[in-house]
Amino acid sequence: MLLALFSNLESYSQETNPEFNSDEIILKGFFDSLFTRDSTRFLKNDVEKKYLNDTIQKLFYKTLNNPNSLSYPFDSLKHIGKLYSADKKVRIITWNTKFKDGTFKYYGFIQFYNRKKDNVVTSALTDKSDSLLNPENIILNNTNWFGALYYQMYEYTDGGKPYYVLFGWDGNSYYTNKKIIDILSFNNSGKPIFGKSVFKTEKKSQKRMIFEHSLKTSMSCKYNKDIDAIVFDHLSPPKSSQKGQYQFYGPDGSYDGFRLSKGKWIYVSDIYVTNPKEKKKKSK
C-alpha cells in the first residue's frame, strides 16, 4: 500500500529512488537554463521562457505521476519551492518566471495522497491570476489558480475535514508585490480546491486574503505558532492622500491577524505578537 511511503518520508533519498534520477538531472538542466544569468545561457526572450516552462511542466508532470515520487525530495532542484503538509499527505511545488514587462507567471504542482482510494493525485497548476475578477471572493481550482510562490502551509481541521492555509508571495508588477493567504482543500477525487469563505474581517467575509504593497517594502505574513494565530504587518500609505495607491503602501509598525474560532478565521486588529514565554523570562 502507498500508506507505507509516508512513515518513511523523511528517510527517502536519491539513492533509494534511482527511478527518478535521470528525470531530475534533465529537470535541473532546464531550471538552470531558465534561471542562470550567464550571458551564454540566460533566456532573454519571453517566448523562449514560456517554451522552456512548458517543456519543464510536461516532464515534471510525467515524473510526478509516479506515486512513489511523493516521497522523492528532488534536492538538486534549487529554483523551486517545495512544501509538505504536517500530515504528509500534501506536497506543493511552485516556481515563477519574470518577464520583460515586470510581471511574473507562476507554475507548479500539487500532490495529494487520497487515503480512501489509496492513491496519489498529481494536479498541474495553471496561473490565471491576471484574468480573475474579484479574486478575494471566488472558489478556484488547479486550472484557474491564483498563482503564487508558497512559503508556508498550516493545517487545521473543521468538521473532521482537513484544510490547509497557504501563504504565498506574488511579484505583481514593477511597482507592487502581493502576499496571499488562501485555503486549500480537496474534493472526493483528490483534486485541489482553493478558497473558502472563512476569513471574517470587520465588515465582510472573504474566501482569500490579498495584500498589495510597495515593491520597495517587505511584508511579513505567516502563521505564528507561539500565539496560535495568523499574523501580518498592517499596511498603510505614508500620506492620507495616497490611500488606495498601493505602490506607496508599507508596514506601519503594527500587526493584525486572524484567530481560528469554530472553523472561521476571525480578524484581530493590533494583535499581540510578543512570545508570552519570552516575556516571562525577561521579567524574572
**Helical pair 46-64 and 21-35, crossing angle rounded to 10 deg:** 160
Q: With bands split at pLDDT 50, 70 and 90, how would you rate the model's confidence at 9?
A: very low
pLDDT of 37: 57
pLDDT of 46: 87
Of 15-24, 86-95, 164-173, 262-271, the range with the lowest mean pLDDT is: 15-24
> pLDDT, tens digit, for every residue of 41-66?
455 688 889 999 999 999 999 999 99
Q: With bands split at pLDDT 50, 70 and 90, how would you rate the model's confidence at 103?
A: confident
pLDDT of 3: 42
pLDDT of 43: 54
DSSP 16: T
Other C-beta atoms lying within 10 Å of the C-beta of residue 173: 16
**Percentage of the chain modeled with pLDDT above 70:** 88
Contacts of 2-7 with C-beta under 8 Å, sequence gap 24+, read: 2/67, 2/113, 2/118, 2/119, 2/120, 3/115, 3/118, 5/67, 5/68, 5/70, 5/71, 5/113, 6/71, 6/88, 6/89, 6/113
Are the C-beta atoms of residues 265 and 257 closer than 8 Å to each other? Answer: no
Average pLDDT, integer, range 153-175? 96
Query: Residue 18 is which amino acid?
Result: P
Strands ordered across the beta sheet of 81-84: 81-84, 90-98, 104-114, 119-126
162 pairs with which residues across the strands?
A: 157
Of 34-48, 106-120, 192-206, 207-221, the range with the lowest mean pLDDT is: 34-48
**Percentage of the chain modeled with pLDDT above 90:** 77
Among 225, 224, 230, 227, which residue's Cα sits nearest to residue 264? 230
Average pLDDT, integer, range 60-83? 95
Q: If DSSP codes are grouped into helix, strand and coil, which group holds residue 174?
A: coil
- Sign of the alpha-carbon dihedral angle for 100, 55, 81, 221: positive
Are the C-beta atoms of residues 104 and 98 closer than 8 Å to each other? Answer: yes
* pTM for the full predicted model: 0.88
- Mean pLDDT in the chain? 89
